Amino acid sequence: MKQTMPRKVALVANCLLNQNAKVCEGARYRGLVSPVVEALRSRGYVLQQLPCPELAFAGARRWWAVYEQYDTPAYRAHCRRLALAIAPLIESYLRNGDEVILIGLDGSPSTGVRFTSSKPDWGGRPNRPEDDWEIVPRRGVWIEELEAELGRRGLPPLPATGWALDMGRFDEAGSRRDLEEFLDSRESGGAGPRNKDSGTS
């Protein structure tokens, strides 16, 4: 990729630009999650969509699942393949001196950043009458594998947050405030496109 002036780049969870990727009954918007897109574009971020790990693995009509159900060797291998697909782009941004941030999906078993969903005894017939999973503070499986691949390439950890779509009761106004505080704290903290000469490895 040709070198360009350093930019601000937001790696965005697939379903934040495409709610059709969500598990059945999980879509809160028709397509784009417009508050996220607006918050990022208004602050000058370039959008880079991440692949959806669950859709290509378990399909468009998959059951709901928690972290423990996706924490399998086969799913992690699938996530590593996706990480290999997208990591060269991320690496090129970082080598160009771009400021790169990650916006995941809090509560997701795959794309959670600050929180994921957990219920170790989920399994078998999908007959849970209530939303009885727990929210625990850890990455989802996909984000763990993506960060591991970036680490193998000698790239620094990315500043990251999550849009709280999968935390149980969805609070759009609260999620928007939360995201804007994260983005504005980066501005006020002096974060910006990295000096190209500072190196990233």
Partner 1 sequence: MSNDSRGWRIALVPDTLMNPPHDERAALPDVLNLLEASGHGVLQLPQPGEHRLLLAVTADQVAEYSHHGYAVLAIGLRGLSDNGLHWRRLAPLLRNRGVALPPRHIVRRDGDVALESQRLAAFLANYDLPAEEQRRWRV
Q: Which of residues 50-69 bind partner 1 (CB under 8 A)?
A: 51-52, 55-56, 59-61
Q: Does 191 bind partner 1 (CB under 8 A)?
A: no
Per residue, what are the HEC states of 169-194?
Answer: CCCHHHHHHHHHHHHHHHHHCCCCCC
Query: Among 95, 96, 116, 118, which residue's Cα sits nearest to residue 105?
Result: 116
Three-class DSSP category at 23: coil
Q: For residue 6, what are its two tokens?
A: 């350093």
Helix, strand, coil % over all residues of the chain, rounded to 5 = 40, 15, 45
Residues 63, 77, 84, 156: which binds partner 1 (CB under 8 A)? 84
- Residue 80 or 114: which CB sits closer to partner 1? 80
Q: How far is the CB of 104 from partner 1 (least distance, A)?
A: 16
Q: Which of residues 10-49 bind partner 1 (CB under 8 A)?
A: 17-22, 24-32, 34, 37, 41, 46-49
Q: Which of residues 159-178 bind partner 1 (CB under 8 A)?
A: none
- Residue 68 or 163: which CB sits closer to partner 1? 163
- Residue 68 or 94: which CB sits closer to partner 1? 94
Quick one: CA torsion of 16, 18, 23, 26, rounded to 10 degrees? 60
- Residue 58 or 136: which CB sits closer to partner 1? 58
CB of 38 closer than 8 Å to CB of 90: no
By the criterion CB under 8 A, which residues form the site for partner 1? 1, 17-22, 24-32, 34, 37, 41, 46-49, 51-52, 55-56, 59-61, 81-82, 84-86, 88-89
